[in-house]
Structure 1
Amino acid sequence: MRIGVGSQNPVKVAAAEQALETLPGAVVESVRVDSGVPEQPRGLDQTVEGAENRARAAYQSGPYDLGIGIEGGVAELVADDYSLVMWAAVFDGSRFERAAGPSIRLPDRVALRVRDGEELGPVMNDEFDRDDVARSEGAIGVFTAGAVTRQSALESAVSGALGPFVSGQY
């Protein structure tokens, strides 16, 4: 089974590979695609749309059996609190399945900058004196002191979106 992942971010590709580890013969390939949403998706709708767009574009760049899209964003889940959110979508040419990864409230100083229009990745690098947090532990890794990594969080989202395709329960 050939699977295209709509990203060249090594953390996203590794998350998809881990989620597919129990599927014999799965071959995962990274595919450069456009999310079709802003660099910093805002709100659940925009984040899910980005994941779906990536999954569709990856699938269509095939031939692939499945396309996987992963998108991280920020959303106001509770009034006046911004949270990091992550979604995965899987597309088989006719249907989408979607699942969320964990979300976590952003610290006030980060949330204020994001609310004012900055992108989370550069804010994280600046606030925590890091280089390219998005390609390593991710914001969730920083905010959980490593208890949850970006890869493990994205892996759970991908596993959930894959479930209907691989479990035989749907």
Structure 2
Amino acid sequence: MNVIVGSGNPVKVRAVERALASAGYEPHVTGVAVDSGVSEQPYGDAETREGARNRARAAFDGCDLAVGIEGGVAPRDGGLWLVMHAAVTDGDDLAYGEGPALRLPDAIAARVEAGEELGPVMDDVLGEDDVAKKQGAAGALTGGIIDRESALRHAVAGALGPFVTEHY
């Protein structure tokens, strides 16, 4: 199975590889940088899902499946939440999935609401570089119980359902 991920981020590529491997596939997964067509810091579930869809469609190039993954923030239940959306296409059909959502601490949410991107805020808070390519905000905010890759893998798994089962 030849799969293209609409991102050069190795965490996103590994998330797709592991999602498909857990379903019994031995995929050849390639990451390709594409434009998400949304804000650098997607705001809201609709914009984050749109970014995932745009990435999947832009990445599709004669492969079996193309995957788009987008992380964003969304106001929910009186707070600002980290959200992860995925889209998968075979060139004809398109399906969506969502990973776990995590409420951002108030101090982090305030900085994001003021216009900063979550990735650099997390780098600053943790005193590290490239947190988004490592544990991600998900890892930091759950004490390592989940990390960015596993959170994204679950979003991808939800979007893969129609392509890997006959239940749809």
TM tier, shorter chain? Answer: over 0.9
The one-letter amino acid paired with 1:120 is L
Match of 1:142 in 2: 140
- Counterpart position of 2:74: 75
Q: Secondary structure at the match of 2:76?
A: strand
Alignment of 1:5-84 (within 5 A): 5-21=5-21, 22-59=23-60, 62-79=61-78, 81-84=79-82
- Stretches of 4+ moved more than 4 A in 1? none
Tell me what 2:83 maps to.
85
In 1: Cα distance, 2:56 partner to 2:163 partner = 14
**1:60-89, CA deviations, whole angstroms, 9 ceiling, x for partnerless residues?**
xx221111000000000123x100000010
Number of equivalences: 167
Gaps of 5+ in 2: none
User: Normalising by structure 1, what TM-score?
Assistant: 0.95
Task: Letter of the 2:57 partner, please give it.
Answer: R
Pick from 145, 153, 156: which aligns with 1:155?
153
1:26 deviation in Å?
A: 2.1
CA distance in structure 2 between the aligned counterparts of 1:122 and 1:157, rounded to whole angstroms: 23
Identical residues among aligned pairs (%): 55
The unaligned stretches of length 5 or more in structure 1 are none
Match of 1:116 in 2: 114
Instruction: For residue 20 of structure 1, give the secondary structure of its aligned residue in structure 2.
Output: helix
Cα deviation for residue 25 of structure 1 reads 4.2
Alignment TM-score, normalising by the size of structure 2: 0.97
Offset of residue 23 of structure 1: 4.0
